[in-house]
Homo-oligomer: A and B are copies of this chain.
Amino acid sequence: MESPKQVDVIVIGGGISGFTAAYHLKKLTNDAKSFMVLEAKDRIGGRTCRSTLCTKNGTANWDMGGQWVSNSQFSIMKLLKELNLDVFPQYQSGYNRIVVHSLTDVRRFCGHLPPLNLLHLIDLHLMIRKIEKMVAMVSAENPLACRFAGEWDEQTLQTFVEKTCWFSSNVEMMAAVTRVMFGAEPSQISLFYFLYYCSLGGGFEILTKNGKDSAQEYRLKDTASNIVDVLQEKIGSDNVSCDDPVVSICQKENEFVLVKTKKGKIYHARHVICAIPLNLVNHIDFVPPLPHDRLELSSRAPMGNIIKFVATYEHAFWRAHGDSGESVMLVKKSTTGPLSVTFDATTFNGDPAIVGFIGGEHAVYWTTKSKLERESIVIQSLVAILGKEAESLLLQYADKDWCKEPYQSGGPVCMMQPGCLKYFHQALRRPFYSVHWAGTETAQKWTGFMDGAVESGIRAASEVANRLQLPQNVSADESVSKIFDDKGLPWKKSNRGLFGVIWLPALLVLGAYFVYKNQRVEQG
Q: Are A423 and B295 interface neighbours, CB within 8 A? A: no
**Which residues from B are CB-within-8-Å of A409?**
282, 289, 292, 295-296, 299
For residue A423, which residue of chain B has the nearest CB?
A: B364
Q: Does A202 contact B (CB under 8 A)?
A: no
Interface size of A by Cβ–Cβ distance < 8 Å? 44
Q: Which of A338-368 contact B (CB under 8 A)?
A: 361, 364, 367-368
Against B, the Cβ 8 Å flags (1 = close, 0 = not) of A229-266 are 00000000000000000010000000000000010000
Q: Does A490 contact B (CB under 8 A)?
A: no
CB distance from A204 to the nearest CB of B (A): 20
Q: Does A132 contact B (CB under 8 A)?
A: no
Q: Does A226 contact B (CB under 8 A)?
A: no
Q: Does A188 contact B (CB under 8 A)?
A: yes
Stretch of A8-16, A17-25, A150-158, A439-447 with 4 or more beta carbons under 8 angstroms from chain B: A150-158
Q: Does A477 contact B (CB under 8 A)?
A: no
CB distance from A278 to the nearest CB of B (A): 10
Q: Does A43 contact B (CB under 8 A)?
A: no
**Which residues from B are CB-within-8-Å of A367?**
292
Against B, the Cβ 8 Å flags (1 = close, 0 = not) of A406-429 are 100100000001111001100000
Complexed CA–CA distance, A417 and B367 (Å): 21
Question: Sorted from nearest, which 9 A-B pairs have the closest CB atoms?
Answer: A188-B419, A154-B187, A299-B302, A187-B419, A154-B158, A417-B417, A159-B159, A155-B159, A292-B403
Give me 11 other A-B pairs in contact (C-beta within 8 A), A282-B283, A292-B305, A417-B417 excluded: A154-B162, A154-B186, A155-B159, A188-B417, A289-B404, A292-B409, A293-B364, A296-B305, A300-B417, A364-B423, A418-B418
Interface pairs (16), CB distance under 8 Å: A153-B187, A154-B156, A154-B158, A154-B185, A155-B158, A155-B159, A184-B419, A185-B419, A188-B420, A282-B283, A282-B409, A289-B406, A292-B364, A293-B368, A296-B305, A299-B303
